[in-house]
Amino acid sequence: MRQAGDSSFTTKSPFLRFAIALTVFIMLAGTGSAYFNNAFDIVKTTEIETAVQSYAASVINLHKNWIMQGRPNRVTIRGLTKEGKAGNEWIFLMNKSGWPINVIDGGEKPDCKALWYALQKTTRLQFATSIRKMQRKVNGELFEPEFSADKGLNDESLIWVCQNIVAQQLHFRYRLDTGKIEIEQ
């Protein structure tokens, strides 16, 4: 049997159920949001790393084509469309070591941005770059060159380096003396 005091419980019960349901929903939404935000970050990082790996593989393939074509100043390759059919012809300017420095519309100076967009497959990622001359130690390590009036422009220890940033997250450099792609920490 119900007593007179029980009627207040039945009128507050729907509000209490609604408050509990709302609290559970907010907790689940917060947990799900954190999970999907983390998943989005992982996907973006994977896309960035894949673009850099594609760039590195393309640099190596161009070097192989340079050797197979008889070490010319320019290497011609045919691109592919999204459907996998033969696409445009690309002509790359190569340095004396056989590493790409620019595409044909450019000059003799290395153009890091042109190489990035020509050698990897995504255009969605934000890309920033700068070309720098760096000095190479005997063991191959790079450092900022020291200015000296006695140093000539043909100093063998000075090399071109593309300092690149992909999606404001991943810093890497492309060494034009060795073709090496170095991820910077």
Q: Are 18 and 147 in contact (CB under 8 A)?
A: no
Q: Are 163 and 136 in contact (CB under 8 A)?
A: no
Which parts of 104-149 are beta strand (E)?
A: 127-136, 142-143
C-alpha span between 113 and 103 (Å, rounded): 10
Question: Running DSSP on this structure, what letter comes out for residue 73?
Answer: S
pLDDT of residue 6: 54
- Local structure of 57: helix, strand or coil: helix
pLDDT of residue 165: 93
In 69-156, which ranges are continuous DSSP H helix?
A: 112-119
- Please compute Rg for the chain using Cα positions: 29
pLDDT in tens, 57-111: 999 999 999 999 999 999 988 877 778 787 778 899 999 999 999 987 656 778 9
pLDDT of residue 12: 63
Give the pLDDT band (50/70/90) at residue 158: confident
Taking the chain, what is the end-to-end CA distance rounded to the nearest angstrom? 73
Please give the structure tokens belonging to residue 14: 């729907």
Residue that wins the pLDDT comparison between 123 and 94: 94
CB atoms within 10 A of CB 142: 17
